[in-house]
């Protein structure tokens, strides 16, 4: 179903962090940006679609009053907003936002509390969210141009630190739930965005960390430390499917929104591709297994589809200095 | 990252160091009483009350340099001496062994079981000496108090912090290569077979549910591996069967300790550039070091009657050769206090030494003790 393509070499190896790969496809310029976190820096590589050009850039965490920061970066992720894309970095000392090619830093928010942030961000409409380890997440208002970014809300609902968050913005469909946040106890919170964010539902965990979460057609797709993947209906919390997917901690789940393909990757060296479909009779989601890829002797820490159909996906692993790519045969 | 990582890092690395030293002491036929003294002295220093107090405080991990210096001191806590090449090799083996254990831990919480395996072995080393035994028991209690309440997510964060510390280390260890747990490129083998961790199901099942919660379909899929059901859970008490073998002593007389320096792949030698800026953590690191000094009984260095040297290599020639041929990128940059150009660090250390002589709980010979300690530090 998929075969391995030429890997992209990166300057440093990937650190063992959840969701440690972010991908941004820039169709008008026929290139794709990839970011991978290594300790206190982010390796960014922009690959042209013809496979001929690779440009590398490294970004470091920022700290007040220090020239070179050693504070560790927790996550780097692209936020896709209606009129612009941003690259958001969260480190132990603060949150940095860059233009999507990493060229200019447009915003910096220092975290004044000494607690360690476990920043993950996703984008929806005009806001960009970042979570901090107290269980709160920050909502930023981002204008369509420039650096006048402001902190608009701080939402505190989770008791444990938030591990991941996901949003969905399907333009034509009437979406009730826009955002889901997951925490270290496996609890999931479902939100509706608006003037103020509204909590729609809380799906309890079973004291097992949820390390990665996605939202697709009103379904929450959650990957857990036990190696299970669960599909819940976001608004009602009804469990539609439970998969004993991996033999070790899941580090990343991703969804290709146009095709319903689901990608999961774990410490067990395996990447698996699944297919989600909505059953028209019951209007609930079903899932089937399609494909396995084994990255020998590697604990995978990031896996993402490179396009909305799931035609290609990329993988990173702990101690690996390359981004491995797979393409549909 | 986690601020509770340092105690586990220290105890597990210390445990590995003791396994290796124990094996070398036997291999070199060091008299039993001397060997026992060395082991006892090191373990006493490792579990010194003030030192552990400092260690268990919530804090960032120490730099590689600082931690290596701490272990240098620890290895020299007794009448035994090691040359630079042997100390380098000892540290390589310790760190690669623990990296292996951290990577192979089925679930993050098992890291505590690995620590208990080390603790159990250390307890066995000192079972005839009640005073040290009680220090070890106290440490068990501290570990249990600090770590058993943590969630699996918090353990995973500790594990991730450790993995960042060990990132890009691919030194090949002969015993690992022989057992086929490490590849010739220095990377560890991660099997896709064997028992799944406790709390995980064998992959291969999809269950679909109706809106009322009934299971409507069961689908099986090929998991691409050869997994078995989980084993029983190990014990997190002071005594008990830990179940996992990770953290137990893998050395014996018949299994020599060698490392390969040559042929280490280029990629593996990527270390983050050491910042030239003054290290803001330096004070804390020096605190720990100072505490370690404080717990140390003054030993007359190099006394011909009692002192001896341990070699981690088969011959003295090999040891010399190893020192010359060690690749630059793999040097640990051990803090040589005497040679340091960092005046601030030197002044800080002198101040801390001074504090020891002024504080109330020192013996009447406090002044000379401080001087002796400083002198010994200079000799590092």
**CA distances for A83 relative to A127, A146, A256, angstroms:** 12, 11, 21
* Residue A173 buriedness (CB in 10 A; 0-12 / 13-18 / 19+): exposed
What's the number of domains chain B is made of? Answer: 1
- Least confidently predicted of B172-176, B285-289, B312-316: B285-289
Quick check: is B287 in a domain? Answer: no
pLDDT greater than 50 at residue B372: no
B327, β-bridge pairs: none
From chain B residues 203-232, the ones with a CB under 8 A of any chain A CB are 203-211, 213, 217, 219, 221-225, 227
Residue A70 has pLDDT above 70, yes or no: yes
| pLDDT higher at B246 or A282 | B246
CB atoms within 10 A of CB B168: 17
DSSP-assigned letter for residue B289: H
8-state DSSP, B322: H
Q: According to the model, what pLDDT value does residue B286 have?
A: 61
Mutate to test the interface with B, among A212, A247, A281, A299 (most CBs of B within 10 A): A247
* Residue linked to tokens 């774990």: A266
| Residue B118 reports pLDDT greater than 70 | yes
* B227 phi/psi in degrees, rounded to 5: -95, 155
Question: Complex ipTM, two decimals?
Answer: 0.91
SS3 B280: coil
Band the pLDDT of A167: cuts 50, 70, 90: confident
Q: Chain A partners of B222 at a C-beta cutoff of 8 Å?
A: 289, 292
Q: What is the pLDDT of residues A289-320, one digit of tens each?
A: 999 999 999 999 999 999 999 999 999 999 99
- The per-residue pLDDT for B356 is 34
Count of CB contacts below 8 A, A vs B? 152
Q: Are A269 and A298 in contact, with CB atoms under 8 Å apart?
A: yes
User: What stretches of chain B show up as alpha helix (H) in DSSP?
Assistant: 6-27, 32-46, 49-55, 64-75, 84-104, 110-125, 130-147, 152-165, 174-178, 282-294, 316-325, 343-358, 366-378
Yes or no: say if A269 and A313 are a contact pair by the CB < 8 Å rule: no
Domains and CATH numbers, chain A: 2-63+72-111+126-328 (2.130.10.10)
**Residue closest to B345 by CA, chosen among B270, B305, B290:** B290
CB atoms within 10 A of CB B213: 8
Which residues have a Cβ under 8 Å from the Cβ of A128 and sit 6 or more positions away? A79, A81, A86, A88, A97, A121, A122, A139, A140, A142, A149
Q: Is A319 on the interface with B (CB under 8 A)?
A: yes
Proportion of chain A above pLDDT 70, given as a percent: 88
DSSP state of B198: T
Least confident range of A16-30, B142-156, B289-303: B289-303
The answer to whether residue B14 is domain-embedded is: yes
Q: Which 8-state DSSP code applies to residue B232?
A: P
Nearest to B75 by CA among B88, B65, B64: B88
Provide the residue range defining the domain that includes B152. Answer: 5-193+244-255+306-317
- Which tokens is A181 given? 């946040």
Q: Note whether residue B336 is domain-resident.
A: no
Grade residue A133 by pLDDT with cuts at 50, 70 and 90.
low
* Cα–Cα distance, B91 to A49 (Å, whole number): 45
Tokens found for residue A155: 């939402």
Residue B249 lies in a domain: yes
């Amino acid at each position: 179903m998929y075969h391995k393509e030429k890997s992209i070499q990166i300057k440093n190896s990937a650190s063992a962090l959840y969701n440690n790969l972010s991908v941004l496809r820039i169709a008008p310029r026929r290139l794709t940006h990839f970011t991978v976190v290594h300790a206190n820096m982010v390796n960014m590589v922009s690959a042209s679609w013809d496979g001929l050009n690779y440009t590398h850039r490294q970004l470091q965490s920022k700290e007040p009053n220090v020239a070179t920061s050693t504070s560790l970066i927790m996550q780097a992720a692209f936020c896709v907003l209606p009129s612009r894309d941003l690259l958001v970095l969260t480190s132990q000392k603060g949150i940095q936002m860059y233009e999507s090619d990493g060229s200019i830093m447009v915003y910096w928010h220092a975290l004044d509390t000494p607690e360690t942030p476990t920043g993950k961000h996703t984008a929806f409409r005009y806001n960009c969210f970042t979570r901090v380890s107290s269980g709160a997440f920050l909502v930023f208002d981002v204008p369509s141009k420039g650096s006048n970014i402001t902190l608009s809300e701080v939402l505190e609902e989770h008791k444990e630190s938030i591990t991941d968050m996901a949003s969905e913005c399907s333009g034509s469909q009437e979406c009730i739930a826009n955002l889901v946040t997951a925490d270290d106890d496996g609890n999931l919170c479902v939100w509706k965005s608006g003037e103020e964010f509204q909590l729609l539902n809380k799906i309890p965990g079973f004291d097992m960390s949820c390390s990665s979460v996605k939202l697709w057609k009103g379904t929450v797709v959650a990957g857990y430390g036990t190696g299970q993947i669960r599909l819940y209906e976001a608004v009602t919390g009804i469990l539609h499917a439970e998969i004993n997917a991996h033999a070790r901690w899941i580090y990343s789940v991703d969804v290709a929104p146009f095709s319903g393909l689901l990608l999961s990757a774990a410490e067990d060296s395996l990447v698996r591709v699944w297919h989600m479909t909505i059953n028209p009779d019951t209007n609930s989601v079903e899932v089937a297994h399609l494909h396995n890829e084994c990255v020998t002797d590697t604990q995978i820490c990031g896996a993402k589809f490179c396009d909305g159909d799931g035609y290609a996906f990329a993988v990173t692993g702990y101690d690996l200095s390359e981004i491995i790519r797979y393409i549909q045969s | 990252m986690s601020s509770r990582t340092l105690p586990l890092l220290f105890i597990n690395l210390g445990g590995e160091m003791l396994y290796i030293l124990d094996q070398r002491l036997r291999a070199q036929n060091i008299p039993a009483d001397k060997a026992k003294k060395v082991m006892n002295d090191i373990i006493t220093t490792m579990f010194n009350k003030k030192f552990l107090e400092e260690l268990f405080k919530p804090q960032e991990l120490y730099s590689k340099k600082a931690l290596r210096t701490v272990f240098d001191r620890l290895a020299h806590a007794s009448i035994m001496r090691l040359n630079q090449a042997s100390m380098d090799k000892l540290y390589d083996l310790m760190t690669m062994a623990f990296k292996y254990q951290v990577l192979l831990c089925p679930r993050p919480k098992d890291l505590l079981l690995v620590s208990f395996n080390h603790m159990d072995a250390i307890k066995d080393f000192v079972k005839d000496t009640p005073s040290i035994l009680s220090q070890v028991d106290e440490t068990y209690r501290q570990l249990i108090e600090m770590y058993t309440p943590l969630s699996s997510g918090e353990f995973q964060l500790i594990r991730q912090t450790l993995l960042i510390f060990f990132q890009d280390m691919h030194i090949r260890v002969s015993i690992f290569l022989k057992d086929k747990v490490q590849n010739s490129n220095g990377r560890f083998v991660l099997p896709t077979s064997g028992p799944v961790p406790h709390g995980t199901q064998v992959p291969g099942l999809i269950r679909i549910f109706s809106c009322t919660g009934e299971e409507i379909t069961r689908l099986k899929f090929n998991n691409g591996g050869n997994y078995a059901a989980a084993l029983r859970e190990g014990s997190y008490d002071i005594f008990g069967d830990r179940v996992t073998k990770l953290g137990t002593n893998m050395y014996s007389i018949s299994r020599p300790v060698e490392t390969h320096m040559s042929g280490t792949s280029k990629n593996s030698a990527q270390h983050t550039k050491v910042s030239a800026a003054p290290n803001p953590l330096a004070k804390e690191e020096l605190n720990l070091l100072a505490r370690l000094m404080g717990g140390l009984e003054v030993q007359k260095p190099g006394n011909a009657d009692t002192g001896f040297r341990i070699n981690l290599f088969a011959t003295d020639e090999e040891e010399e050769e190893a020192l010359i041929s060690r690749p630059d990128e793999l040097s640990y940059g051990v803090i040589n206090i005497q040679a340091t150009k960092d005046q601030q660090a030197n002044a800080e250390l002198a101040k801390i030494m001074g504090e020891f002589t002024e504080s109330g709980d020192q013996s009447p010979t406090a002044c000379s003790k401080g001087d002796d300690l400083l002198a010994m530090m200079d000799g590092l």
